[in-house]
Structure 1
Amino acid sequence: MKTSVADIRKDYKQHSLNESDVAAEPFAQFEHWWQDAVNSEIDEVNAMTLATATKSGMPSARIVLLKGYDAQGFVFFTNYNSHKGQELADNPQAALVFFWKELERQIRIEGTVEKISAAESDEYFHSRPEGSRIGAWASPQSTVIPDRNVIEANVTKYASEFSGQNIPRPEHWGGYRVKPTVIEFWQGRSSRLHDRFRYTKTEQGWKVERLAP
């Protein structure tokens, strides 16, 4: 018998999140949950949803990979000319979502976005496998192409052009940092009575509040 979509559900029972559990500032709390997730051997633990929007507010979202974080924010890399890159140029605000179902946890992040320095982008670019570096040159990301032959021809072209060389980072490729103004930590609980704590950045520091589920 076909399962009704509306009947698909799961009761969350693994953990709780109380006032005594949360750190005074969100990056310490993120570090704690991040280490839990890494230690749980979650597949692609650094995968996160990135939501951007046009000037008029039309949103779009996709999965990207977290490549660094500290007290300044959360870093990912992409083609600056891509759809998300164009939206970030017009509207430098974004939201991130991590969902670690194995731990029944979600983290939501909202903030402003800036490009990281060229030196930081260079450092990460040169740490990537050669195929990924060639790919950054070969793909005119988000543009319409007639068929896959375009990409394969570009890969052949740039592999030949950079053969035996240290492949340089293309100017159209690099990193962004999401600088959070709001971070919410969500812990699944039974009967949909989840624990939620929101950190909001203020002039005095971070304000922590419990939200109703």
Structure 2
Amino acid sequence: MQTKRLLLVEDDRTLADLIGFTFDRAGYDVTRTGDGEEALILADEINPDIVILDWMIEGISGIEVCRRLRRRQDTANLPIIMLTARGEEDDRIRGLETGADDYITKPFSPKELVARASAVLRRVRPAIAAEKLDYAGIEMDLAAHRVRRDGEPIDVGPTEYRLLRHFLENPGRVFSRQQLLEAVWPHSEDIELRTVDVHIRRLRIALGANGGSDLIRTVRSAGYALDAEGSA
């Protein structure tokens, strides 16, 4: 099962420690902040799989952070769970209408929060919880660490495998070179941007080894996407 990236936006340090510890033990890669403005920046930088967002935080409110994330094209479908001490029905409705996928009122069990996060991911981004990824004839078996295209085995190196996996988890989405570096390379600060181009080229060669069409779309001044329709 893949490591899922969680952005935790909570300014209560004790509660954030507890939530972060619980999600870390559940296999999540947790990034924390207690500031709304920083949360919006981190959403771009780390490309989280899910956001847990407190209503009352420093800077702009959690409800406004949720609203802004929903307005952005690249985070419009990002799973968001709202945390709040507000238990009134009108507040819950407001949070959900703003775009939250789920809503949990304090106090709560951290284990329940993990379960709710898993449920949201299964519903909103089923590829995150999958053992196999499949798109446009490309099949990736995460347990066996194997790749096939139209039933034929594809030989890819470790970095190309991670790159392809990231694309398969987000088909059609355009990623900049910097975003790909941060998502695929463990120590991206030591890697040059042009390295991404080298591995994209290798991945294209591997995927086209049996005569298949090029599914990796280059978007000028933006980056790359795995896009069967755009590459047709």
Larger relative contact order (Cα-Cα within 8 Å, sequence gap ≥ 6)? 1
TM-score range, shorter chain: under 0.3
From the CA coordinates, give the structure whose radius of gyration is larger: 1
After TM superposition, the score normalised by the length of structure 2 is 0.24
Q: Which has the higher strand share?
A: 1
After TM superposition, the score normalised by the length of structure 1 is 0.25
